[in-house]
């Protein structure tokens, strides 16, 4: 039987400038659902990061993506999944099927989107593009609209160029031009595209002065140096040095409820292997404020990932093959997911940042009477987090700020 394709496209752009019928919730009430979903999202963030870092295509390259956006898209897809396909999606997302049901997950994501909707910094949501001849289940669309803030549109996927243009325009509008071409071409057998999008634009709580930005050297590895425009600022900053994983963490707050954490490890591979949600909680709790002279490279980059193979490795296998049970989307028995693609964008400048990569923090301690120096002149990681929850909106590493 010919299987109709369901595309899942996930995109994110971060700009920071200067200043259906659901599975029942069985035994557990949704009281602890927010903490379960929040922890699951964080576990998923680092699980997927390790898959990206281990992928041969990303060897020696910058990585930047939005775990928040990927989780949102897959949670929206799970609304229409049933049986083993649903169990795999939940397990892959870090949720325990026996402890939390679809209703509770929907409500938590709905509350999260409403909360972020009150911030001027971040805009997040989903969209569903349907082939005009395809009739999805009414409850599926109702849930996506109610909880996942979904925009629903009809397209004629047989007109593949026109359909791609329409999706690309929608995405470009939602990301203010940061992701301008999500779709190159569409399979004419496509009957539905599900998209999640996130756009963050924040200002540093304390901007850098452009006149202090100077050309400097960034050490990609022991043999490779590249020139970078290095921003500089001397001020009081929150810093933590984690002796257990030999990493220095700097918090750069935006003038909102978000921060960027910059992680400068002695050994990037060790940090990538060990980092977990509990580290982020520990760092943000124990950071101390003192005066530092910090140096951070200006950056601008875009990333694109096909996540299908990585999600299969994470146990989400059935949704991609004829065993897929997406009967909550439609009574049609022949739906499967054809692709999961993620695009992201990052810029970091004196006023703020635009995100799509990860960087490291270099540290040099001068003699005691001098201000200690934190110099991000070698590979580092970065996270963009929400203060109150430590939710991870963006995550990545910077190996070369020029790439």
**Structure confidence by residue, pLDDT tens digits, 212-241:** 999 999 999 989 999 999 999 999 999 999
pLDDT higher than threshold 60 for residue 84:
yes
Provide the pLDDT confidence category of residue 352 given band limits of 50, 70 and 90: low
- pLDDT reported for residue 93: 95
Q: Which residue(s) pair with 341 in the sheet? A: 9, 306
- pLDDT reported for residue 367: 27
Predicted TM-score (pTM) above 0.75: yes
- pLDDT reported for residue 28: 41
- The span from the CA of 311 to the CA of 48, in Å, is 8
Determine what percent of the chain is predicted with pLDDT higher than 90: 54
Q: Are 337 and 77 in contact (CB under 8 A)?
A: yes
Q: Which of 197, 189, 186 is nearest to 163 (CA)?
A: 186
Provide the pLDDT confidence category of residue 26 given band limits of 50, 70 and 90: very low
Secondary structure class of 374 (helix, strand, coil): strand
Provide the pLDDT confidence category of residue 182 given band limits of 50, 70 and 90: confident
- The span from the CA of 161 to the CA of 184, in Å, is 9
- pLDDT reported for residue 22: 37
Task: DSSP letter for 400, please.
Answer: -
Q: Which helix (H) or strand (E) holds 390?
A: none
Find the range with the poorest average confidence among 35-44, 89-98, 129-138. Answer: 129-138
**Structure confidence by residue, pLDDT tens digits, 34-50:** 889 999 999 999 999 99
Q: How far is CA 339 from CA 7, 162, 306, 330, 359, in A?
A: 5, 20, 7, 19, 29
- The span from the CA of 125 to the CA of 122, in Å, is 10
- pLDDT reported for residue 19: 35
Beta strand segments in 60-149, E? 63-65, 122-131
Q: Which of 332, 306, 72 is nearest to 189 (CA)?
A: 332
Strand 247-253, strand 258-265: pairing: antiparallel
What does pLDDT average to over the chain? 84
Summarize the confidence of residues 171-179 as an average pLDDT: 87
What is the CA angle 331-191-330, rounded to 5?
15
Q: Which of 336, 332, 324, 320 is nearest to 82 (CA)?
A: 324
Q: Are 297 and 376 in contact (CB under 8 A)?
A: yes
pLDDT higher than threshold 50 for residue 103:
yes
Q: Which of 239, 363, 338, 380 is nearest to 3 (CA)?
A: 338
Provide the pLDDT confidence category of residue 141 given band limits of 50, 70 and 90: very high
- pLDDT reported for residue 335: 81
- The span from the CA of 388 to the CA of 316, in Å, is 30
All domains in the chain, ordered by first residue: 4-202+301-346 (3.30.497.10), 210-297+351-398 (2.30.39.10)
- The span from the CA of 272 to the CA of 283, in Å, is 16
Q: Which helix (H) or strand (E) holds 105?
A: helix 102-117
């Amino acid at each position: 039987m010919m299987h109709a394709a369901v595309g899942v496209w996930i995109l994110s752009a971060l700009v920071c400038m200067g200043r259906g019928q659901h599975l029942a919730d069985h035994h557990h009430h949704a009281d602890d659902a927010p903490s379960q979903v929040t922890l699951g999202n964080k576990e998923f963030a680092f699980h997927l990061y390790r898959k990206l870092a281990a992928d041969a295509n990303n060897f020696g390259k910058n990585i930047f993506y939005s775990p928040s956006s990927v989780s949102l898209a897959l949670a929206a897809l799970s609304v229409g999944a049933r049986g083993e396909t649903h169990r795999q999606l939940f397990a892959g997302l870090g949720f325990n099927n026996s402890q939390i049901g679809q209703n509770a997950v929907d409500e938590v994501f709905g509350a999260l989107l409403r909360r972020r909707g009150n911030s001027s910094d971040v805009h997040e949501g989903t969209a569903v593009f349907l082939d005009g001849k395809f009739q999805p289940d009414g409850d599926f669309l109702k849930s996506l609209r109610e909880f996942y803030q979904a925009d629903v549109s009809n397209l004629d996927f047989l007109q593949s160029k026109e359909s791609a243009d329409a999706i690309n325009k929608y995405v470009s509008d939602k990301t203010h031009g940061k992701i301008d071409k999500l779709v190159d071409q569409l399979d004419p057998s496509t009957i539905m595209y599900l998209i999640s999008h996130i756009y963050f634009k924040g200002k540093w709580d304390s901007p850098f002065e452009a006149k202090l930005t100077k050309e400097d050297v960034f050490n990609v590895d022991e043999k490779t140096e590249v020139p970078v425009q290095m921003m500089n600022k001397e001020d009081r900053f929150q810093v933590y040095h984690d002796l257990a994983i030999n990493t220095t963490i700097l918090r750069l707050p935006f003038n909102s409820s978000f921060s960027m954490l910059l992680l400068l490890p002695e050994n990037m591979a060790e940090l990538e292997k060990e980092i977990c949600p509990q580290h982020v909680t520990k760092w943000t709790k124990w950071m101390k404020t003192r005066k530092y002279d910090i140096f951070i490279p200006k950056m601008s980059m875009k990333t694109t990932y096909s996540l299908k193979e990585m999600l299969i490795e994470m146990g989400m296998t059935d949704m991609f093959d004829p065993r897929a049970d997406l009967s909550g989307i439609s009574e049609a028995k022949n739906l499967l997911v054809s692709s999961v693609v993620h695009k992201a964008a990052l810029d970091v400048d004196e006023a703020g940042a635009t995100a799509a990569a990860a960087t490291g923090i270099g540290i040099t301690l001068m003699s005691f009477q001098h201000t200690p120096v934190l110099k991000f002149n070698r590979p580092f990681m970065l996270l963009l987090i929400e203060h109150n929850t430590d939710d991870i909106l963006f995550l990545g590493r910077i190996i070369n700020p020029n790439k």
